[in-house]
């Protein structure tokens, strides 16, 4: 019955559209996330150009509202999230010695849902105006917003959110069930640990967003009354639901960056990570506390001193495990033979930058002080210090570090360092002055300001910094383009890595590990190298390897929802029915067609092994 179909080789575009290989899906996430990062970056540039002098008229006020909404939404959901999933896909299965994720089909579905959600949201620019109620979409601003911008926001996030949720479940199962022999939980590399905790946060944080978005959609499309006080509704329900999702979301973003930094710092200090178990504990604790601090976004709402105090204390408590991490990175470097590669520069730049964001975070956690800071540029400065200075710097460190593994090329170190210095200096130039702008009373989300209020100079400096960041990003893209040249093929194990992903030959075989490796301790590959072994000790003889079949269904399932979303936005029920029918028929096909995958035969694997140069 389940005959093993011979290996279906697909070529070119079809291969990428149907792939279920975690390595290729990682690359797809990286490209799509990079694309949305550019779009979000352009939106930021337009805002900074508008604000570079008082009473500027580069963009209209309405356009500015759309720009700030789309910048936040794009950067959080369609740049940072996919970039995190890019590295989780590219690295986690390799780090735990697995041949793929637990559910390769679902992995592909997760990517396409995210992709179509992002495309849907961004199409709003061309179809009558982007959403303009802020990335937080507070009611009643969002429920009464004219045009269909907010509908695009709701449905774009709904579709991509479903993709993120199933991606999170996939990585939880992968990490729990698919570790190689000997890879106990306390031997997992820290990046895998952070991916694990982040996936747990996704599992429990995204369903509230799903429900919140449903309510907002029902309110706008079907005239529900959740947030309509005239009919008994309560606008605070949206704020609570949004931040019950929204606060864990920022930890979802930062934890994998912490993980990447931990790998980079240990590798380039030529030492094992200081305080590994404390790092694991701190990661779990941050994840846990992340769920009980959401009210610090709502201190000025008036929930009363008791609620505010409890959430203030919980918020400040998060500084403790975060501090543990900072000190452990410093102690890892202490006495190490530090190599200042580009990846390491990003990691070293990350530490003080993130500490500054953390300090303003504790300042904002004091409710009485927050009444002053709230909705000012001080908040803008704070969250850019933690999200750009934390998440993005960590992701850049990870990019330079794992690029050889993902693309079989190294990035040019000189260009990498130019990228680092322009971006890093540009970042501080942009956001450091914004602390003071906030303290001087400049509110966030305003499209202009008057001269003669001492706001001119700092805004001007901030815009200059934004241009430096843009130049840095352009340098990165030049670097990526020239890395396609053969000159940049990586040497074996380019960074003297410590973990399993570096124990694999270049290019990474489709099945990752010809033989599942036996893990004998933390920093599994380092242990083998220290013992004088060339590679990992295998845990099994060479044999047939079972592989999943590629499938086009994930793309069509996602496209069906994309079509249905247009029906909802333009109130055309036929289109909704057609879209949902496409999705459900594909799900039905997936359910009834037996798909047992195929085998790569022992002989082929042996052939591959002969050509291996480690």
Partner 1 sequence: MDAGQRLTDDNFPEHPEKATLEGKNKFLGFWLFLGGETVLFATLFGTYLGLRHMNMDGPSTEELFKLPTVFLATMLLLTSSLTSVYAVLALKQNRVRTLQKWFIITLILGLAFLGLEVYEFMEYVHEGHTFTSSAFGSAFYTLVGFHGGHVAFGCLWIITLLARNWNRGITLVNAPKYYLFALYWHFVDVVWVFIFTVVYLMGKVG
Burial class (CB in 10 A: 0-12, 13-18, 19+), 38: middle
Q: Which of 148, 152, 22 is nearest to 86 (CA)?
A: 22
Interface with partner 1, residue 6, by CB under 8 A: no
| Bond before 238 cis per omega within 30 degrees | no
Largest Cα–Cα distance in the chain?
80
Nearer to partner 1, 244 or 289 (CB): 244
Quick check: 233 binds partner 1 (CB under 8 A)? yes
- Figure out which of the listed residues 51, 150, 172, 280 binds partner 1, where binding follows CB under 8 A: 172
295 touches partner 1 by CB under 8 A: no
Q: What is the spatial distance between Cα 442 and Cα 65, in angstroms, rounded to a whole number?
A: 16
Contact between 570 and partner 1 (CB under 8 A)?
A: no
By CB under 8 A, tell whether 232 contacts partner 1. Answer: yes
Does the footprint of partner 1 cover residue 284 (CB under 8 A)?
Answer: no
Of 145-153, 169-177, 475-483, 499-507: span binding partner 1 (CB under 8 A): 169-177
Residue placing its CB nearer to partner 1 in the complex, 175 or 469: 175
The answer to whether the beta carbons of residues 319 and 341 sit under 8 Å apart is: no
Applying CB under 8 A, among 596, 606, 607, 609 the residue interacting with partner 1 is 596
Smaller CB separation from partner 1, 203 or 464: 203
Alpha carbons 383 and 397: distance in angstroms, whole number? 20
> For partner 1, which residue of 16, 46, 138, 204 counts as binding (CB under 8 A)?
204
Q: Decide: is 592 part of the binding site for partner 1 (CB under 8 A).
A: yes
Is 244 an interacting residue with respect to partner 1 (CB under 8 A)? yes
**What is the radius of gyration, based on Cα positions, of the chain?**
24
Q: Is 53 exposed, middle or buried (0-12, 13-18, 19+ CB in 10 A)?
A: middle
Please say which residue, 245 or 268, places its beta carbon nearer to partner 1.
245
- Does 11 bind partner 1 (CB under 8 A)? Our answer is no
Q: Which stretch binds partner 1 (CB under 8 A): 12-20, 225-233, 383-391, 417-425?
A: 225-233
Contact call for residue 573 and partner 1 (CB under 8 A): no
DSSP 43-73: HHHHHHHHTSSTT--SS-HHHHHHHHHHHHH
Candidates 165-173, 374-382, 399-407, 517-525; binding stretch for partner 1 (CB under 8 A): 165-173
CA 35 to chain centre: 13
- 136 scored as a contact of partner 1 (CB under 8 A): no
The three-state (H, E, C) secondary structure of 460-519, written as one string: HHHHHHHHHHHHHHHHHHHHHHHCCCHHHCCCCCCCCCCCHHHHCCCCCCCCCCCCCECC
Which residue of 46, 214, 436, 467 would you call a contact of partner 1, by CB under 8 A?
A: 214
Bond before 507 cis per omega within 30 degrees: yes
Residue 541 in contact with partner 1, rule: CB under 8 A: no
Question: What is the binding site for partner 1 (CB under 8 A)?
Answer: 1-2, 102-103, 165, 169-170, 172-173, 176-178, 203-204, 206-208, 210-212, 214-215, 218-219, 222-226, 228, 231-234, 237, 240-241, 244, 588, 591-592, 594, 596
């Amino acid at each position: 019955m389940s005959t093993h179909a011979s290996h279906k080789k697909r070529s070119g575009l079809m291969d990428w559209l149907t792939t279920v290989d975690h390595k290729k899906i990682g690359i797809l996430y990286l490209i799509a996330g990079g694309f949305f990062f550019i779009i979000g970056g352009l939106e930021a540039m337009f805002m900074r150009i508008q604000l570079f002098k008082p009473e500027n008229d580069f963009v209209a006020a309405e356009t500015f509202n759309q720009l700030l909404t789309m910048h936040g939404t794009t950067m959080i959901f369609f740049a940072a999230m996919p970039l995190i999933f890019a590295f989780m896909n590219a690295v986690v299965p390799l780090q735990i010695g697995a041949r793929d994720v637990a559910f390769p089909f679902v992995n592909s579905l997760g990517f396409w849902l995210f992709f179509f959600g992002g495309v849907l949201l961004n199409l709003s620019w061309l179809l009558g105006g982007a959403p303009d109620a802020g990335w937080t979409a507070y009611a009643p601003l969002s429920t009464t917003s004219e045009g269909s911008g907010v509908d695009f926001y709701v449905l774009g996030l709904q579709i991509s959110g479903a993709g993120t949720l199933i991606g999170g479940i996939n990585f939880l199962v992968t990490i729990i069930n698919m570790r190689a022999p000997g890879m106990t939980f306390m031997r997992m590399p820290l990046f895998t640990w952070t991916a694990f905790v982040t996936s747990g946060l996704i599992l429990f944080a995204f369903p509230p967003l799903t429900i919140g978005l449903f309510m907002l959609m029902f309110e706008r499309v079907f005239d529900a009354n959740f947030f309509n006080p005239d009919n008994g509704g309560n606008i605070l329900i949206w704020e609570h639901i949004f931040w019950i999702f929204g606060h864990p979301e920022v930890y979802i973003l930062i934890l994998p960056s912490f993980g990447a930094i931990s790998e980079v710092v240990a590798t380039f200090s030529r030492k094992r990570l200081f305080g590994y178990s404390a790092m694991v504990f701190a990661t779990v604790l941050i994840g846990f506390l992340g769920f009980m601090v959401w009210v610090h976004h709502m201190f000025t709402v008036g929930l009363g001193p008791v609620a505010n105090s409890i959430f203030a204390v919980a918020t400040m408590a998060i500084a403790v495990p975060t501090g543990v991490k900072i000190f452990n990175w410093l102690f890892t470097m202490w006495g190490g033979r530090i190599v200042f590669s580009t990846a390491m520069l990003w990691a070293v730049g990350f530490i003080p930058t993130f500490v500054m964001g953390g300090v303003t975070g504790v300042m904002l956690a004091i409710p009485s002080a927050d009444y002053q800071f709230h909705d000012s540029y001080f908040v803008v400065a704070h969250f850019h210090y933690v999200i750009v200075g934390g998440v993005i710097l960590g992701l850049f460190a990870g990019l330079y570090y794992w690029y050889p593994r993902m693309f079989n090329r190294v990035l040019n170190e000189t260009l990498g360092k130019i990228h680092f210095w322009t971006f890093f200096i540009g970042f501080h130039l942009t956001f450091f002055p914004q602390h003071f702008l906030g303290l001087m009373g400049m509110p966030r989300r305003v499209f202009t300001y008057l001269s003669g209020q001492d706001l001119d100079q700092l805004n001007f400096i901030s815009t200059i910094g934004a241009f430096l960041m843009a130049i840095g990003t352009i340098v990165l893209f030049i670097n990526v383009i020239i890395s396609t040249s053969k000159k940049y093929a990586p040497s074996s194990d380019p960074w003297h890595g410590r973990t399993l992903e570096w124990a694999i030959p270049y290019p990474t075989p489709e099945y990752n590990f010809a033989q599942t490796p036996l893990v004998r301790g933390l920093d599994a590959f380092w242990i083998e190298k220290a013992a004088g072994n060339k590679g990992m000790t295998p845990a099994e003889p060479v044999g047939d390897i079972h592989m999943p079949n590629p499938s086009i269904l994930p793309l069509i399932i996602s496209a069906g929802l994309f079509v249905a979303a247009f029906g909802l936005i333009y109130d055309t029920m036929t289109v909704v029915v057609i879209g949902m029918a496409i999705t459900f028929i594909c799900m039905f096909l997936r359910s009834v067609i037996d798909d047992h995958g195929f085998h790569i035969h022992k002989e082929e694997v042996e052939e591959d092994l002969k050509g291996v140069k480690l």
